Amino acid sequence: MKPYLTSEHIKHNLANLPRLVFDVLMKYILGIFCLLYACALSAQPKNNIVTQPTARIHAKYAVIDHADLRVSYALNADNLLDISTYVDLQYLEVGRQTSKYYSALLAASDSLSVYWVREHPNVDGPPRWTGEKGKSEWWSEYQYTEIFRSGGEQTMYSRMPFMLERYDCWHTEPYPQQSWQLQSDTLTICGYLCQKAVCSFRGRDFEAWFAPQIPVREGPWTFGGLPGLILKVYDKDRLYVFECVGIERGNFPIKKLDYSKYKPVKRKELLKMQRKINEDYFSFFGGVIDDATGKPLRMFKPYEPLELE
């Protein structure tokens, strides 16, 4: 297997290429991504053509709490019985002092990458992804974000795509407050009778189904505040659908990465940056220059984020 290149390898190698070879290489890369771009025009908004960052193989973690409840959510699944049709599988771990929400598939891939490197010592680096990856092959802020809640505050750590790792960042805010209105409708999810609730939140209208039998005021992503665990939530256009596919009781360590290299950022600044990345990834990092204008090439594609404000 050929080694995967890191961003540093690419920067070094490109900087030492003759200009003619560099131009030919860039046009070749551009042609490939134009093809991918055309194929993705009918894709869902969160599946834009944005390259995943390299795998974490030297990450350091600390156990900060233990959870007795772990809830699995499918993000935008075509078939809840087939994980390969998910955009992502995500975990909510509810501890004594802290809760954590993160991508289970990404965590598994990073862990497997460590073993892959051990088994392939003569290769420069691991594949970008190892193991089950669902139906999406691209970076998404909804997969590359880890959320910790504790003491009335929520901190989100955002891992950026390939070539943009210098923008890895975090922000803290009070628990987001959704003004839920309870409805009389019911629905059974994972064996639990759930009640419906609706709200308007950060520019979108949402419907949620919560389980009063599980007295936990949390849910997927940043949703919570209902008198029971949220097992399903989606916006009215169903661009983003989180649905519970499993509930486990046990003793699960809540791990936190060393985020000391991440930079603080304001929430709205982060949303603005993530939107620009999704709408025009190549223009954002200036990776491909248009010969006619001498400016970074634009490949704009409309994008609909979960939060509009």
Judge if 234 and 249 occupy the same domain. Answer: no
Domain end, chosen from 239, 259, 276, is at: 239
Domain end, chosen from 193, 213, 239, is at: 239
User: Count of domains in the chain?
Assistant: 2
Could you tell me the pTM of the whole model?
A: 0.81
Pairing of strands 99-103, 145-150: antiparallel
Kindly state the average pLDDT of the residues 177-200. Answer: 97
Judge if 150 and 255 occupy the same domain. Answer: yes
Judge if 83 and 221 occupy the same domain. Answer: no
Judge if 287 and 264 occupy the same domain. Answer: yes
Judge if 27 and 82 occupy the same domain. Answer: yes
Contact 183, 198 (CB under 8 A): yes
Judge if 211 and 298 occupy the same domain. Answer: no
Higher pLDDT, 274 or 52: 274
Rg (CA), the chain: 21
Kindly state the average pLDDT of the residues 91-118. Answer: 86
Judge if 95 and 235 occupy the same domain. Answer: no
pLDDT band at 293 (very low <50, low <70, confident <90, very high): confident
Domain end, chosen from 195, 219, 239, is at: 239
Half-sphere exposure of 205 (CA within 13 A, CB side): 4
Judge if 37 and 107 occupy the same domain. Answer: yes
Q: What is the spatial distance between Cα 107 and Cα 274, in angstroms, rounded to a whole number?
A: 21
Judge if 34 and 107 occupy the same domain. Answer: yes
Kindly state the average pLDDT of the residues 59-76. Answer: 95
pLDDT for the residue numbered 115: 61
Calculate the alpha carbon distances from 39 to 32, 86, 161 in Å: 11, 19, 20
Judge if 200 and 71 occupy the same domain. Answer: no
Bridge partners, residue 113, by sequence: none
pLDDT for the residue numbered 59: 77
Q: Which two tokens stand for residue 177?
A: 């407050």
Judge if 149 and 214 occupy the same domain. Answer: no
Q: What is the spatial distance between Cα 250 and Cα 219, in angstroms, rounded to a whole number?
A: 18
Judge if 148 and 163 occupy the same domain. Answer: yes
Kindly state the average pLDDT of the residues 285-295. Answer: 74
Beta-carbon contacts of 299 under 8 Å, excluding residues fewer than 6 positions away, are 33, 34, 37, 49, 280, 281, 282, 283
- pLDDT of 269 above 60: yes
Q: Report the range of poorest mean pLDDT among 59-68, 74-83, 116-125, 146-155.
A: 116-125
Structural domain for 72, as ranges: 1-175+240-309
